[in-house]
Every structure is written in C-alpha cells, then in structure tokens.
Amino acid sequence: MTQIQAPAGQQPGRRRPTYTTPASPGSDPHGPHTGRAARALARVSGWWRGGGPVTVLFLLPMLLVFGLFSWWPIARTVVMAFQQTNLVEPAHWVGFANFHRVLSDPLLPTALRNTVVFAGLAFVIGYPIPLLLAIAMSDLRRARGLYAVLAYLPVVVPPAVAVLLWQFFYDASGDGVFNTVLGWFGIGPVPWLVSAHWVLPSLVMEATWAAAGGTVIIYLAALTSVPKELYDAAEVDGAGIWRKLFHITLPHLRAIMLVTLILQIIGTAQVFLEPYLFTDGGPDNASLTVLLLIYNYAFGSTTGGGDYGDATALSLLLALALALLSWIYFRLTRSWSDS
Amino acid sequence: MSENSFVSTTDLRRTGVRWARRILNVVILLLLVVVALGPLLWLAKSAVTPAQDTLRKPMAIWPNGPDWSILGDAWNGLHLGHYMVNTLIIAAGSWAVQMLVATTAGYALSVLRPSYGRFLYGAVLATMFVPTVVLLVPLYLTVLKLPLIHTSLVNTYWGAFLPAGASAFNVALMKRFFDNLPREILEAARVDGAGPVRLFTSIVLPMSRPVLGVVSVFALLAAWKDFIWPLIVLPDPEKQPISVRLPSLAPVTPIDTFLAALLISTALPIVFFLFFQRFFLRSEGLEGAVKG
C-alpha cells in the first residue's frame, strides 16, 4: 500500500525515497486501521501461540494469593491509616488524625521503651550465646550432629506451648521451678513475671531459649565454610589456637554476624507472643510492646478494640521502621553472597 | 583426618589442648542437656506426676511414683484429638497452598520467563520488606470481606490456608532452585514435544525433590507453630488449632492435666523434627543465601 514519491522541493539529483501512505483516505477503503489491528492481532496470536495463556495460568495462584493477602493489604494499610472506619458505615478520610492520636497516646512511649529494652536485652543475652555455642560446637567434630539436634529442639516446640510451660517455671512463689533451683544456692525467691523490673528479662530468657537453636545452625553452616587452607597457612606461620580463632574464624563470620544481628532486631521489634501470653502487657504495662499495642487497638478486650484506623497508622509507622532495617539486611546479604 | 577448624591436628598433639577439648565437650553437652533439653524433660516428667507433687516439690522426680493415667485424662477430657485434627487440617492446607503457589510461580518466573516476569518477581520480593505481623489488621479486614466477591473467610479454614501461600521466601527459593536446573534437559524435553505443563509435571517437579522437601518441612512446622493468625481468623473454639486452644484451657484445667496436654501437643512436632532433622539442620543456612 505504500508508494515511493519524490518529495517536493528537493533537487532531482539528491532524491531520497520516502515511504508514505496514500494521501487520500478514499483511495484505500481499509486504510491504516487494518494495518494496526492486524499487527495487534498478530502480536496477540503470537503471544497466544507462544504459550502466553499457559504462563498466565501458571502465575495465577501466585497472582491471586499475593494479590489478595499481600499486595492488597499492604496498599490498604497506607489507605486505612488516613481513614476512620467501624466496618459498618463506609470509611471516611480523616487526614493525619489517626497518626496524631497514636503519637499522643501516653502508652506509646511505654510500648516503645519496652520494645527497645526487649531488643536490647535480647542483644545482650540472646546474641552472644548462639555464637559462642556454635564456635565451641564446631570444634567438637564427632558429636556435632547430636549437639545440633539438641540445640535445635526448642525451636520446634510451638511458641504457645513454650510460653505456657515457662509460665510454670516463672512461678513467683518459693515453690516455683526456677525459685526452687535458685533456693538450692540460697538465692531468691525472684518475683519473675509479677515484678515490673523482672518481667522483660524473664520474657527475653524464654525467647532466647526458643530461638537460639536456629541461629546456632546458621553459624555452624558458616563455620564449616571457612577455607581449610587459611587455617593451614596460619599454622605454618606458627599461629596458635586463639590467634586462628580471632584472626581467621571470627573475621570470616563477620558478615553473617551482622545478618543475624539485623534479623534479631527485626524479630524483636515485632515481639508479640511472649508479652501477650505471659502477662498481657502487665504488670502495669511493664511488658506492653508496640505490636501488642497495635493488637489492642484493633482486637483488644480491655480497650474495646475496633480502632482499625489507629492500629493501621501505628502498623504503618512500625512497617516503615522495619522496612528500613530489612532493606539494610537485604543489601548486606547481597554483598555477602557476592563476596 | 583434619577438618577446617581453628584447632588443628597438630594442636591436638599437645596434652593440654586435648584435655581442654574433652572438658569443653562435656561442658557443652551438659549445658545443652540442662538448658535446651531440660525444660522439655521437666515437662515430660511433670506430665505424669500428680498435681500435688508438682506444686509442692517441682524438681523432685516422682516422689509418689508416676501416674500414667493423667495422659489419658488430658487426651479425653480436653478433647485434644479434636484440636490436633484441626491443627493437622490447617498444616496440610497451608502446605498445599504454599506448594502450589511456590512451584507454579517459581516455574513461570524461572522457566517460562514472560517479559513482565522481572516486574512480578520484584513485586513478590518487595513483600519481604513488609513483615506479616505488621499487616495483621489490614489482612484481617481483607479476609473479613474479600474484595470483589465480598465473602468472609473468618471462621473458615481457607482463611488460615490462603494467606500462608503469600510467602516471598518460598517463591524465591523455588525460582532459585529452578534457575539452577540444567537447561539442556529442559531444552531436550521441549524439542521432544513436551508442552509447558508436561515440562512442569514430568521434568521440573521430579528434579526438584530436595527443595520441595525443604519447603515442605518448614511449611508444615510453621503451620504447627503459628499462633497469632489462627487466633484472629478462627474465633470459633471448635475450629481452633491446639496451640490457640491451649491458653484458654490453662485457667480452667488442673495443672497435671494441663502439663500433659502441653506434652501431647509438643510430641508430634518433636518426632517430626527428629525424623526430618537433616532437612532442618542443613537448610537453615539457605535463608540468608536465597535473598542475595
């Protein structure tokens, strides 16, 4: 349908062919439309014959599940944080009112403080234990498998069961399990869960027991990947056990130590189960955490619940903080697996 | 035989080092038995001890002999079997949804590679940055009234199964594994006339048994351990899994029966772990590697 024309105003000696469609629409009834439609049709049929629908079919479970239960709720968090809803009437926009109310809630500083203290205690108590354990275990060659099983065992105990079991251990009377053991050494009784001072350390100890095994396994895997040649070379240079430990083993673990640290901070920032089941935030809000506060806004029985706007506003703030940490984690694992 | 350790065979020729190592061995074993295993041993002991003995002398080992009937009382009196079946249903359903989503998505993104695949994979990975617990409230409201079809999944097992499938970690793990399958085999099958479905069911899935095993054991254990989501989505006690049910049984149950119930609900995951320990202990390191 195209013709070569000599463009007007050009010198005959320097003719350049130009491709144009006919000037008058009447000369060709099908016009340019069929061209475009045919091309689109060709593209669709190519996509069809190239397995496009089958690909979509394979992606469908993911699109549905992620769409409904991940992408949609994420989008909804952002929207609902600026809305007020009681689920009966349609939601209406309230601007930053939810954020104002949440940020001026006198319980928020308490919850933040408790979450930070929990994370800090988990760092002091829970962070070094798996590392030391894994380093010591890695050297015990034959028994390593058995030790790994023993260390991992608490990880498979359902968290609710673990908390309910430890509740017996933390019985504040002299006949409680821990207080009986401490009594043998003339210590205590310690008021564990009923004291505002002891409650967070108690929760951290249980959480450490429940989680340390997983971290031990991560460290053990990293320890076995230290190249043997490095140790052999150090040996030739006359390095002793401690120098090898401090100059080869630990530097090799540095990247993974950072990763487990950030994973732990992300995990402890979301602590919910322990304060919810052990003490429900008590005594006197001494174990109220940020996530427990969010839960109480939405589902709490004492406050009445139903404050979905407040709950999502605080969720959004927590999510932003955690996303920042996750992003750092992501960058670190990427550079760590590249190296 | 030497291994890669900061203590070498040469170091071990020194008597001091050998002794230190023996002592370390015993100390670690004792520590693990007392600290890691100890609480579970205490639970096992107390589950068959009369309440009065546990209350008066919690550390004594059967001062008046064990009472095995407590286990039966807990099983029958608290209807543990019923809640255990609920847990098994939730675990099986969550497993099936996770496997379906992860394998099909991993296959489409890794082998079929549509042009928009990179964008979709990015959208999946991005959800890793948003921890699920933070999404509890909007997720609950979504499940309460699904968009477009406006039905509620609250108090249905679908409400427990389906959100479990939205695991970016599973999709990434599958895609990574499929990426490393030898392309020549896939090409050969394609030349022999295998369509995308055939390629998936007869070539890719059978070649992926290791990663299917890893994802399966972690999916089943996670469903068994889950507490907060089933608590929110299944308010009806008759439908709750055992771990959600236990806290509400605590105040109304005698201590010996309750401890027996705790033991019974822990026994299955522990046996499961001991049976599949290789999957758990070898693959925990994957978690870091997959995100790179």
Q: Residue B112 is nearest to which of A55, A71, A248, comparing CB atoms?
A: A55
Please tell me the predicted confidence (pLDDT) of residue A258.
83
Average pLDDT, chain B: 86
Q: Which range is most confident: A16-20, A40-44, A92-96, A305-309? A: A92-96
pLDDT at A49: 64
* Amino acid A115: pLDDT: 92
Give tens-digit pLDDT for A265-279: 888 888 888 899 998
Task: Assign B283 a pLDDT band (cuts: 50, 70, 90).
Answer: low
Q: How confident is the model at residue A14 (pLDDT cuts 50, 70, 90)?
A: very low
pLDDT at A108: 92
Of A70, A217, A240, the CB nearest to B284: A217
Q: Tell me, yes or no, whether A55 and A110 share the same domain.
A: no
From A242, which residue of chain B is nearest by alpha-carbon distance?
B6
A288 and A322 share one domain: yes
Q: And the tokens for B180?
A: 């490393």
Q: Is residue A25 part of a domain?
A: no
Interior CA angle at B18 toward B16 and B20, to 5°?
A: 70
Q: Tell me whether residue A244 is in a domain.
A: yes
Residue B275 contacts residue A156 (beta carbons within 8 Å): no
Task: Residue A268: give its domain's CATH number.
Answer: 1.10.3720.10
Q: Is the pLDDT of residue A334 over 60?
A: yes
Q: Does A52 touch chain B (CB under 8 A)?
A: yes
Which residues of B fall within a CB distance of 8 Å from A271?
none
The predicted structure's pLDDT at residue A3: 41
Long-range contacts of B139-144 (CB under 8 A, 24+ apart): B139/A69, B139/A73, B139/B163, B139/B229, B140/A298, B140/B232, B140/B233, B141/A73, B141/A76, B141/A80, B141/A87, B141/A308, B142/A68, B142/A69, B142/A72, B142/A73, B142/A76, B143/A69, B143/B233, B144/A87
- How does residue A50 score in pLDDT terms, banded at 50, 70 and 90? low
Of residues A28, A40, A76, A240, the one with CA closest to residue B130: A76
Give the per-residue pLDDT at A23.
43
Instruction: Report whether pLDDT(A33) > 80.
Output: no
Residues of B in contact with A70 (CB under 8 A): 127, 130, 135, 166, 168
Does A9 reside within a domain?
no
Average pLDDT over residues B135-158: 87
Average pLDDT over every residue of A285-305: 82
Same structural domain, A246 and A139: yes
Question: Same domain, yes or no, for A113 and A60?
Answer: no
**A321 — contact with chain B (CB < 8 Å)?**
no
Say if the Cβ atoms of A76 and B138 lie within 8 Å. Answer: yes
Residue of A nearest to B166 (CA): A66
A37-51, B221-235, B271-285: the lowest-pLDDT one: A37-51
Closest CA to B176 of B134, B125, B228, B227: B125
A52 is a domain residue:
yes
Q: Are A82 and A257 in contact (CB under 8 A)?
A: no
Mean pLDDT calculated for residue range B240-245 = 92
Question: Contact at 8 Å (CB) between A258 and A332?
Answer: yes
Q: Is residue A5 part of a domain?
A: no
Residues in chain A within 8 Å Cβ distance of B273: 152-153, 156
| A235 domain-assigned | yes
**DSSP for residue B143:** H
Same domain, A198 and A322: yes
Mean pLDDT of B135-142: 87
Q: Determine, yes or no, domain membership for A75.
A: yes
Q: Which of B3, B5, B252 to mutate to test the interface with A (most CBs of A within 10 A)?
A: B5
> What ipTM does the predicted assembly reach?
0.87
pLDDT at A57: 92
Sort out which chain B residues have CB atoms less than 8 A from A88's CB and list them: none
Q: How confident is the model at residue B94 (pLDDT cuts 50, 70, 90)?
A: very high
- Asked if A250 has any chain B CB less than 8 Å from its own CB, the reply is no
**Chain A environment of B220 (Cβ under 8 Å):** none
Q: Are residues A51 and A104 in the same domain?
A: no
d(CA B60, CA B62): 6
Same domain, A49 and A181: no
Say yes or no to pLDDT of A4 above 80. Answer: no
**Same domain for A312 and A254:** yes
Q: Are residues A66 and A106 in the same domain?
A: no
pLDDT in the model for residue B236: 92
A324: closest chain B residue by CA:
B129
For residues A262 and A218, give the distance between their C-alpha atoms in angstroms, rounded to a whole number: 14
Say which of B24, B142, B200 has its CB closest to residue A69.
B142
DSSP reduced 3-state for A109 = helix
Do A108 and A241 lie in one domain? The reply is: yes
Please say whether the beta carbons of B235 and B155 come within 8 A: yes
More confident residue, B94 or A51: B94
Domain that holds residue A301: 98-338
pLDDT of residue A18: 41
- pLDDT tens digits along B172-200: 999 999 998 888 888 898 888 888 888 99
Three-state SS at B154: coil
Q: What is the per-residue pLDDT across A167-177, written as a single tens digit (0 to 9) for each?
A: 989 988 878 88
With 50 as the cut, is the pLDDT of residue B250 above it? Answer: yes
Contact A319 B134 (CB under 8 A): yes
CATH numbers and ranges of domains, chain B: 9-73 (no CATH), 77-290 (1.10.3720.10)
Of B46, B129, B133, the CB nearest to A270: B133
Look at A11 and B94; give whichever has higher pLDDT.
B94
In this predicted structure, what is the pLDDT of residue B13? Answer: 77
Please give the pLDDT value at position B124.
92
Looking at the complex, does the CB of residue A156 fall below 8 Å from at least one CB of chain B?
Answer: yes
**Contact between A281 and B144 (Cβ < 8 Å):** no
Specify the number of domains making up chain A.
Answer: 2
What pLDDT score does B103 carry?
Answer: 95
CB distance from A249 to chain B under 8 Å?
Answer: yes
Within 10 A of A94 (CB to CB), how many other CB atoms are there? Answer: 17
Q: How high is the pLDDT of residue B291?
A: 36
State the pLDDT at residue A6. Answer: 41
